[in-house]
Structure 1
């Protein structure tokens, strides 16, 4: 289960802020490496496990949002198939597709 809500997927500024918070460990990697006793295998392994967990959390959240948006777009396209003249729905689909690409 990702650490992100469906509503966050559609709010680009909130999504970007969430991704930024997931990158805190990466942004401070040099500091953390300098603080870690690199001669202690356990300390290195612990730091590595933290990095892997952060990467997995970020990856799961991105995949979750892409899947969520793809499902929503598919539902909207099915509705559009029923009413091809619904221009509001067409605009909504285009907006969602743009957000998914970003």
Structure 2
């Protein structure tokens, strides 16, 4: 797979700000989890009109799918950028005094660190969402996998 990554350009991984924007869009459900729960889990007076267990299950499935997509996107970009760093290091060994090459290497190393930081951000977002979800849905739906 590494050979395929080195020749393939992944557009969303080249521009970190663009990648962050796409992650922000992918995190919209997490950002609006309280609203989603408030609108989908009925109050006592409306319990007969909505099935909270199916609503919680559906929300759980949406969150799980979203997490998988974001995790795959982040890891794909980390892999892509790590391969670019590796290639630039190999080129630097052949031509250590090339300032353009050194600048490109530093840029890619910085981008790699930023992408790795996104994994930590993702973990925090996931923990916060899981906490809110569990507090509101624990009485209606218990997912087979406790961690989303």
Q: TM-score range by the shorter chain?
A: 0.7 to 0.9
Superposition map of 1:68-79 within 5 A: 68-79=80-91
Q: Which whole-Å deviations, capped at 9, do the CAs of 1:45-67 have from their partners, x for residues lacking one?
A: 11101001111111111111111
Superposition map of 1:37-52 within 5 A: 37=41, 39-52=51-64
Aligned pair count reads 98
Aligned residue among 100, 106, 123 for 1:88: 100
Superposition map of 1:1-102 within 5 A: 6-37=10-41, 39-102=51-114
In structure 1, how many angstroms separate the alpha carbons of the residues matched to 2:89 and 2:82? 10
TM-score by length of 2: 0.61
Deviation at 1:86, TM superposition (A): 1.6
SS at match of 1:52: helix
TM-score by length of 1: 0.87
Q: CA RMSD in A?
A: 1.5
Q: Which whole-Å deviations, capped at 9, do the CAs of 1:54-89 have from their partners, x for residues lacking one?
A: 111111111111110000110111111111122211
